[in-house]
Amino acid sequence: MRRILATAATVALSVLVVPAAHASNPDRIFGGCFFDTAPQVGSDLNVGVTGDLSTTRTGDLPPAPIGATVSCWIEVNGVEAPGTRHTYGDGSLAVQYGVDPLTFTAGPADWVMQCGSVTFADGTTLSGCPLPSDQIIDIERGSGLFYEALNDFFTLVFDPVACPVLVQMAGSYPGGLTIAPDGDVYLPDPLGLRLNPIYDCPPYIPWP
C-alpha cells in the first residue's frame, strides 16, 4: 500500500500524534505536508518538490468538514530554510493541496525536518515539526513488520472513513490534482519522483 512520501537528506518518521486540545473537541487534519529531495552531486544543495495533500474536519462526533489553510516549510538544524515555506488552501475549503519546487542547503550531518501549521476557519491553529496529523507518514517504500502494522492500521481505521469521501470527490482539480473513481489521489510528478498515487484507496496498487 502506498502512502504519502517524505524523504530528504535526513529522513524522519512522523508517528501518530494527537493534537493538543485547544477546545473540548479540537479540529483535526488528515494528511498534511510532504517533501521529496535529493542532494546534488558534490554539493550540499538539495533539490526536489514539496507540497500538501490534506483534508480538515472538526473534532465533533460525527466530524464535519471545516475550511483551513496549511503552511509547510523545511527546518535545517532547527532553523527555517529560506524560501521553503508554501501555503495551501484558501481557508474556506476542507481540502488543501498543491506541489511546489523545493531547494535548500543541508549537509549529511545536518538535521532536516519538515514543519507545518494549520489555521482553521474557526480561528484555531495547529502546528509542529512534523505537523501533528491523523495520518502516519510512510517513509519511501517501507518494509518489515513495523510498516506492515502501519498499513494494517490505515486499512482498518482511516481508509474506511477517507476513501468513500474521496470517491465522491472524483475528478480533476486546478493545479493538476486528480482523484480517480476508486479514490486514489494523483498529483503532478514532473521530476519522476514516483509520488503517485499519493493516497491509495482499495483496490491497493502494489509497489513496483
User: Dihedral, CA atoms, 114, 65, 163, 8, nearest 10 degrees?
Assistant: 0
**What residues make up the domain containing 106?**
6-156
193 part of a folded domain? no
31 part of a folded domain? yes
What's the confidence (pLDDT) of residue 159?
73
Residue 105, burial from CB neighbour count under 10 angstroms (0-12, 13-18, 19+): middle
What's the confidence (pLDDT) of residue 60?
81
181 part of a folded domain? no
What's the confidence (pLDDT) of residue 116?
95
120 part of a folded domain? yes
41 part of a folded domain? yes
Residue where the block lists cell 479540529: 27
87 part of a folded domain? yes
What's the confidence (pLDDT) of residue 3?
34
**Count of CB atoms situated within 10 Å of the CB of 139:** 17
- Alpha-helical runs (H) found in 111-181: 144-153, 159-168
100 part of a folded domain? yes
Cis peptide preceding 197, ω within 30 of 0: yes
Question: What domain count does the chain have?
Answer: 1
Q: Mean pLDDT for each 10-residue chunk of the chain (208 residues)? A: 29 28 69 84 89 85 87 96 95 85 92 95 92 54 40 60 81 83 84 72 69
- pTM of the full structure: 0.59
Q: For the range 119-127, what are the long-range contacts, defined as Cβ-Cβ under 8 Å and sequence gap of 24 or more?
A: 119/68, 119/69, 119/91, 120/27, 120/56, 120/66, 120/67, 120/68, 121/66, 121/67, 121/68, 121/91, 121/92, 122/27, 122/66, 124/22, 124/23, 124/26, 124/27, 125/22, 126/19, 126/26, 126/27, 126/29
136 part of a folded domain? yes
Whether 159 contacts 135, CB under 8 Å: no
**Count of CB atoms situated within 10 Å of the CB of 54:** 26
Size (the chain), residues:
208
Indicate the helix (H) or strand (E) that contains 174.
Answer: none
Residue 63 maps to which CATH number?
A: 2.60.40
Question: What's the grid cell of residue 10?
Answer: 535526513
The phi-psi region of residue 160 (left if phi > 0; otherwise alpha if psi is between -120 and 50; otherwise beta) is alpha
